[in-house]
């Protein structure tokens, strides 16, 4: 291989690596955003369920006794 050919391949590899890094950053950012949304949603469900927990337990005990 000539030096010019090696330089072209190296430049292409550097460009490919740069593109992969950019895509990885985008994916990481999207995952972090989704994680925040999911965490908020889980907290909301937990808080909602906490208020319903006692009535559900009372109903469960009531129907088990029958």
Given this model, what pLDDT does residue 60 score? 82
> What pTM was computed for the model?
0.63
Given this model, what pLDDT does residue 64 score? 81
Query: What does the pLDDT look like over 13-60, one tens digit per residue?
Result: 999 999 999 999 999 999 999 999 999 999 999 888 877 777 777 788
Given this model, what pLDDT does residue 66 score? 61
Residue with tokens 């010019």: 4
* Greatest C-alpha distance within the chain: 88
């Amino acid at each position: 291989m000539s030096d010019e050919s090696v330089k072209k391949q190296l430049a292409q590899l550097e460009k490919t690596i740069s593109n992969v890094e950019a895509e990885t950053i985008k994916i990481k950012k999207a995952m972090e955003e989704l994680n925040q949304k999911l965490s908020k949603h889980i907290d909301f469900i937990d808080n909602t369920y906490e208020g319903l927990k006692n009535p559900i337990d009372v109903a469960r005990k009531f129907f088990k006794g029958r």
